[in-house]
Structure 1
């Protein structure tokens, strides 16, 4: 593969071996989700738009992480001895390949394509480039120490910094980019004589400067570079991602009545002139076409809502659902693996699972498709223009013909022909004198 600058292929080397200890989780840190997608996949999505390939450093016994980053190559960091040690694990795959290598962190999932492109461009003008930021609260970030010309002299970790160095506002984001051979040569020189006894990736900066290499920093906003090491920091990153996605939806022509209450997924697709009410949640895999109204407290995942449809309030659309043009899904209606035809209505208190519902059909309140027999799922087909009375149970597999009418309260276990009326309920029996006459009110 040709490199991005016409030379050798460039590589994103992603460090993802962290255990998530501070999150108090058995799940590897890189797999914790933001906007419905593992953070390492967010980073891969950005990196693969800039670099020719990606290699992920994982810890031992992390099959879930290896699966999540496939088909990208992985290498294992058997011992967690610091970021420099982790990056060095990529030497076997990358050292002789030429091209640049950028070392990225799975727990910096919000870094943008623009920042990575600027990093690559900066590296073309220097021996080594890194990404830095000026956080509102520098806290315990490593400090980037520059010279009078603005070039980087070294990075000092907070634990090892003097009081004067801790006053520096320019902080290290951890990301570096250098030619592959030079990067790994520098990593082999890194020592662990520091407060934590670890091999710091950032020590290669001072080593590069000592070797006569020019080192430059690319500044980017804190919001995209914040590290995620705790549940609170994960929540902060989620908030940043949600704010950006809401802004993009509104810029694209959607109205969010109470934006801060709407939860989006990384792959939510929203058309123009869509109105979204308060407290609507989008799980992964949702496409909403133009002119749709989604009313308050609805939950959608893995579904398609077509032009002019109305959803909710308090509706739930589960994976495999398609709501066709101008169809209505009302309050406390749940659809799963169902197609609700054009102009069809299911306005109240219904469950429609594994069902195909024809155009213009009307589904009465309390209707359910009994799609599961305890072993297998079965499908219900409701024809165009059919009317299903309230409190009907359709025991699948069953087909209701076009323009058929099913009387309220029916339990339908056989197909209903087109244009027919089905009554499937016990005959009413009245017992005189058996009511509440003469009984005291409670």
Structure 2
């Protein structure tokens, strides 16, 4: 699948250090970055109601990580999926009378345009689930053969060609824990009661009869009338949610990759179970670091599709908002924080953009603050768990004092913060 156009990124003098970021699994800051390269997987959108500011904040967080890695001299291998077949997408398509493929294509194109406008570095591997159905089906069959998957009767499924009732295929978390370097909860650090509650809230089915464990997640959903389905050795059907990311990540990045990223609402069950699937398939951990962005609220509630309290990047852009101001408003919040969007934040970002253009733009006057010192302070802020609020404060102070080389600061702001003045 085609991604979007990559922004031009200036090269700066010197090098950043490797960043230290918060690892959800170990609950501490760790250095993220291998010797010469870094491998990143960030879970992509289910393509409907794209792109709201919660999406944008998450992809901006890991765009910042990429920029620090590149400034440190690392090659970055970045993969992202698109969940272009899933229950929420199919339900939206049915409710609006639009073919699910058409809805997915339209929303992915809108997402591309928003990401390009926000100067987000695109993934090198941008993979739709429907492009790797055969690979996912093969992975499900491999888990079945290894004894870490089992069937649950699905009375509403279409019968198999031999006339037998259809069955959904589930992942056996106990069997996987006995044979791989993974236990449920390794990535989330949650107790079972909390996991059960979140599992029910976030697409799981803990009450399903026939499951061996209430937390066992769906691997392969048997074909139902009116739903898309593909053939496999375990029956016609379509992928469950978590296995798709495991397969795409292993295919594009391999095991033990540097960072698995996404919003904090993916910690459990999605990232926990994706890691479990990958460990059962490969015998190795999925990723070295699990990193998560906070949630964005609006009008007192977490911004969500179900509530409909979405602020869309495309709508802001259509109303004439400079995408750089949207980016600055998001950068003003620490990526791990939960926060609430207000119009005042956008106004503050527009004011900041004007000040920076006056201080560092083409007609800026030379000041007394050493530009290399400012660059060092920017790098120090961003390598400390991607502290963009501190980076903005450093830049504000430099704008107030004036710098010895405005052109260098202009390049630094572009390269590290993604704001082209």
TM-score greater than 0.5 by the shorter chain: no
Question: Structure 1-normalised TM-score?
Answer: 0.27
TM-score norm. by structure 2 comes to 0.28
Ranked by relative contact order (alpha carbons within 8 Å, sequence separation 6 or more), the top structure is: 2
Choose between structure 1 and 2: higher helix proportion: 2
Larger radius of gyration, structure 1 or 2?
A: 1
